[in-house]
Amino acid sequence: MPLKKVFLPVSSALLGAAAVLLLALPAQSQTLAGADDSSAQPTPPPAIHSFDESAMDKTADPCTDFYQYACGNWVKNNPIPGDQVRWARSFSLLHERNQYLLWQELNTAANDPKTPLQKKYGDFYAACVNTNLIQQKGLTPIEPALKQIGTMQNAKQLSETIAALVAIGSPAPIFRFRVGQDDKDSSKQIAETYQDGLSLPDREYYISPAPRYQKIRQQYVEHMTKMFLLAGDAPAKAASEAADVLRIETALAQGSMSRTEMREPANRYHIYTVADLEKLTPDFNWPVYWKAIGIAHFDTLNVATPNFFKTLNQLIATEPASAWQAYLRWHTIHGFATELPQAFFDENFAFFGKTLAGQKQPQPRWKQCTDLTDRAMGEVVGQDWVAQNFPPQAKASMDKLVAALEKALGEDIQTLPWMSETTKQAAAEKLALIRNKIGYPEKWRDYSALKASRTDLIGNLEKDAIFQRNYNLSKLGKPVDEKEWGMTPPTVNAYYNPSMNDINFPAGILQPPFFDASMDPGVNFGGIGVVIGHEMTHGFDDEGSQYDGHGNLREWQTSADRKAFTQRTDCEVQEYNGFEASPAHDGMPAQHLNGKLTLGENTADNGGLRIAYLALEDTLAAEHKTVDEKIGGYTEAQRFFIGFAQVWCQNQTDQSARVSALVDPHSPGRWRTNGSVQNFDEFGKAFGCKKGAPMYPVHSCRVW
């Protein structure tokens, strides 16, 4: 199943997908924000400390609001930079550092490559930063796609048109089609297709009657109209096209599953024969599409969202060819907006950056081209990046930490009061089967088939789309590659994949403030230790617990244990439903978290904190120490919790916070901190809280 990206707007096609991530890069707008700005030369970012007393607000009571106590001064003194929508003490700063180091590598390769690999990614980067050439080319790079769309004579030619777009690597919206692991037989790789096709962050933006969403829909239509005008359409036609796009996307949104529904594995697993899919969508010519993408023969596939495809067929029958042409033209222009001349870039940023996310200004082009090259050629760029920035001792240290966390989780499982011995044995067996992947892949991907030009950015992106598609589709019917990674080495992130039953920690996150060899165990276990525990706990959250140790979707808990498990997760749902992502202001009501959407991540946060603390106690005991020993005026227990909280210090625009509440399966930093510590009695003991205090309640939620 595809990885679930987080902190960035996510296609509805990927929601509820099997691989669950801990966290991601600081949220940005949907745009590749960043016009050319040669005057904004990259500068080395400052050092990041794992434990920072200056970040703390010691006037705050840790027993009342621990996040304010641990992060208050940092939040006050670190406003959101104009080119960001979320600014986090850990993720943002470390991403900036990794981005700068990666830029050094790319810039050198673009100007003086020493190897064939450097020539490849250097050319890709060079094409991205050459905004003068982008300006000169105008719409020429997307004219083949626009011309193809213009040949469409009737709605039943939609499949042929999409197939032609796919063949040249141009954005082909509506649905996602790929090869992934079979949820019920993880040794098999099968064809699967998902809902997609929306431009706004979530289906709610199309269907909610709330005034806020009505206003955004109006602004979206105005934005599309401006983009069509920039593409040369007459005013009346541009307005008509924008209305057509909104109508089609609204219908697709109405036929889509919600994000919460997509989190349930059974809701997205529907094995169809090819004949059954063709009966479901008789007006879409699947064989033409499959021939265009070059996939091998198959007889069955997973149609993850059948109602969506039923809706699609209805739209083919009711929407004229002209409306579909508008829809496809829009997605072509929108899909490449940041690679088109400045006017397109600016208008795209004005809506998706400023209006939707509250971003004040675009990022410098070097930043966005660095990220774009990493996404396209991650394991090419990553080879050199790892050699320079990830020493062998870092991997060795991680191996020890992971072993300590595995031991702690194993002990935690055996002491759970609500779980039967039968289920405990099954849980222990699953834990023993988890594979640990640390730093970077054992075997690098072969990118020899991917070509890059210094003078054709959109052509490079189209070639990359074809390369990535061919790589994925070639897996059909082949054995699963258990050593494959879903993230690039410089990424500041980590993830657990239920179908693989593995945890993955890219080299990019294995640095301060998450891990610092010079720091005491309390701080490191509060940082990277909780990250490790978080990912392990994902194997036992509401989604992960439905997969066994071999990655197969099947029930391994007894019915009584599943009932007890659900009672405990329901406690978390209700608790987090009460947390505000954004307060009421300017006539807008408060935006609360969705406890069901964030349940898996909240469970992992709570479980990760607990088992990291247990691992800390075990580690200190082996050195004949305890969590009560002091360093710099704080006990090791207190340093553990402060180190944990300071990972989550952040500021975020109100617009972005409201988007995140709808689309992000993670809670914001304040609630990842306070929500977790208030459910763990050891926190209250560490800070001498009185039972009944907000951070040390009489009744709390615990799953693991």
CB-count exposure of residue 151 (10 Å: 0-12, 13-18, 19+): exposed
Structure tokens at 479: 């054995």
Q: By CB neighbour count within 10 A (0-12 exposed, 13-18 middle, 19+ buried), where does 39 fall? A: exposed
* Token digits of residue 369: 């081209």
Q: How far is CA 449 from CA 443, 445, 453, in A?
A: 17, 11, 13
User: Considering only CA atoms, which of 526, 528, 505, 575 is closest in space to residue 21?
Assistant: 505
Tokens linked to 544: 């992960």
Phi, psi (rounded to 5 degrees) for 423:
-70, -35
Residue 535 falls in the annotated catalytic set: yes
Buried b (16+ CB within 10 A) or exposed e, 633-649: ebbbbbbbbbbbbbbbb
Contact criterion met (CB below 8 Å) for 367 and 428: no
Q: Catalytic site residue 464?
A: no
Are 437 and 491 within 8 A, CB to CB? no
Q: How far is Cα 177 from Cα 2, in angstroms, rounded to an integer? A: 11
Listed residue (416, 396, 431) closest to 610, CA to CA: 416
| Residue 102: partners with Cβ closer than 8 Å, 6 or more residues away | 370, 374, 381, 385, 490
Gap between the Cα atoms of 545 and 294, Å rounded:
36
First CA to last CA distance, the chain: 26
Cα R_g (the chain), whole angstroms: 25
Q: List, in sequence order, every beta strand (DSSP E) within 552-649.
A: 580-582, 591-592, 630-631, 634-635
Tokens of residue 356, six digits: 């939707």
234 phi and psi, to 5 degrees? Answer: -70, 155
Question: In three state form, how does the secondary structure of 517-568 look?
Answer: CCCCHHHHHHHHHHHHHHHHHHCCCCCHHHECCCCCECCCCCHHHHHHHHHH
Q: Which of 52, 535, 543, 572 is catalytic?
A: 535
Pick the catalytic residue from 339, 605, 636, 664.
605
Q: Tell me which residue of 490, 512, 541 sits closest to 666, measured CA to CA.
A: 541
Q: In terms of Cα–Cα distance, which of 522, 536, 524 is closest to 494?
A: 536
CB 504, CB 495: distance < 8 Å: yes
Identify the CA nearest to 244 among candidates 327, 308, 329, 161: 327
Cis, peptide link before residue 513, omega less than 30° from 0: yes
CA dihedral angle for residue 457, residue 458, residue 459, residue 461, rounded to 10 degrees: 90
Partners of 272 in the beta sheet? 301
Interhelix angle for 211-230 vs 321-335, to 10°?
90
The catalytic residue positions are 535, 605
